[in-house]
Amino acid sequence: MQYFTALKIGEKRVRAAQEILNKYTGNQAMPALALKDNNNNNWEPVGEENYFTTVMNDNGYLIAICDKNGIAKSVAQWFIEDRKNEIIKNIIQNENITEYIGKVILPV
């Protein structure tokens, strides 16, 4: 796929993921990755499917909406554990999104 075609598709998927995350984080979601990372010139957009995942560090919890490969499409950061649990509960109940288990790929 051509770079700009893949990018446009990926950007649309990123916006959709960001809208979902914004609903539950008080508009704190940021766009993340629109293209799959590969080592050749075969460009692919991030996947259409949505999963949620969380990452913990010293600052608290990051919540991401990612595709089936763990590529983050949108992220919101840093939440205390209670707030993170509330956000995840609402995403599961209202969006029917399941958890991604595996290595998540975040923007650097």
Residues in the chain: 108
**pLDDT band at residue 81, thresholds of 50, 70 and 90?**
very high
pLDDT tens, position by position, 12-64: 999 999 999 999 999 999 999 999 877 777 889 999 999 999 999 999 999 99
| 100: DSSP letter | P
Q: Left, alpha or beta for 64 (phi > 0: left; psi -120 to 50: alpha)?
A: beta
CA distance 44 to 34: 9
**pLDDT band at residue 2, thresholds of 50, 70 and 90?**
confident
